[in-house]
Amino acid sequence: MTNKLLAEVFGTFWLVLGGCGSAVLAAGVADVGIGWAGVSLAFGLTVLTMAYAVGQISGGHFNPAVSLGLMVAGRFDGKLLLPYWAAQVIGAVLAALVLYIIVSGGAGFSGVGGFASNGYGEASPQGYSMMSGLVTEVVLTAFFLIIILGATSKGAPAGFAPIAIGLGLTLIHLVSIPVTNTSVNPARSTGVALFADGPALAQLWLFWVAPLIGGALGAILWKVIAGDDAD
C-alpha cells in the first residue's frame, strides 16, 4: 500500500511539474516559446513516462477522476479511493511548491500570475463561460476514461497503453487549453490554485466537480460500449 501511494505521489508530482512547469516557464518565451501545442505535448509526455515508470506499482492513475472512473468500471478497489486521492493531491501540491520556488527566482519576479491554473469567465484563456468550461471538462474527462479503459482492456495490444493514454491527454489539451486551461484532473488544478494569483481557488470547485462527473460517466459509457469485453 505504501509503495502504491508513493507511486501516485511521484507520478502526480511529475505530471504537474512537467505540464504546468512547461506552461509557466516555457510557453510564452518570445521567439522560442513552446506555445499551447508544446504544453499539450508536455502533459501527454508526463503521463506516458510515469505510466511506464511506476504504472506497474500503482496502476498509474495520477488523477482523482481516473481513480473514480476505474472504481466505477470495476477496475479499482473503492477502499483505496480516498488514499489515492490524498496521494495525488499531495504530489500536485509539492510539485506546485517546487515550481513556485523556481519561478520566484526569476529576474524581476513580481508574482506568479495565473500560474497555469484553471478557470472560466475572466480566468479562461479565451474568456469562455462557466457552462462552456463545465461541458468541456465533463466531456473530455469522459473520453479520457474511455481511452484509458480501452487501452488497458484485455483485448488491447500489450505494452502500448501508456502511449495511447499520453497521446489522448495531449489531444485533450489541444482542444481545451483555450477554454479552461485544461484540467481533467482535480489534483493538478488544486496544486497550482494554492499558489496562483486571481480567482483560481474560488473557481476550483468546478475542476473537481466536472472531472469527477466526467470520469464516472466515461466508465459507464465504456461498460455500455464494450459489453462483456469491458474488463
* pLDDT > 80? residue 88: yes
Task: For 162-183, write each residue's pLDDT tens digit.
Answer: 999 999 999 999 999 999 999 9
Task: Indicate the number of domains in the chain.
Answer: 1
* Whole-number average pLDDT of the chain: 96
217, part of any domain? yes
Q: What is the pLDDT of residue 171?
A: 98
Tell me the residue range of the domain where 1 lies.
1-106+117-229
If we measure between CA atoms, which residue out of 42, 207, 64 comes closest to residue 123?
207
Spatial separation of the C-alpha atoms in residues 118 and 199, rounded to whole Å: 9
What count of other Cβ atoms lies within 10 Å of the Cβ of residue 74? Answer: 12
Q: What is the pLDDT of residue 87?
A: 98
Task: For 192-228, write each residue's pLDDT tens digit.
Answer: 999 999 999 999 999 999 999 999 999 999 999 988 7
111, part of any domain? no
* pLDDT > 70? residue 154: yes
Q: What is the pLDDT of residue 230?
A: 66
What is the CA 133 to chain-centroid distance, rounded?
15
Q: What is the CATH number of the domain that holds 123?
A: 1.20.1080.10
162, part of any domain? yes
Task: For 36-76, write each residue's pLDDT tens digit.
Answer: 999 999 999 999 999 999 999 999 999 999 999 999 999 99
Higher pLDDT, 37 or 230: 37
216, part of any domain? yes
112, part of any domain? no
124, part of any domain? yes
If we measure between CA atoms, which residue out of 32, 11, 50 comes closest to residue 166?
50
What is residue 25's DSSP assignment? I
Q: What is the pLDDT of residue 107?
A: 87
52, part of any domain? yes
136, part of any domain? yes
pTM for this entry: 0.96
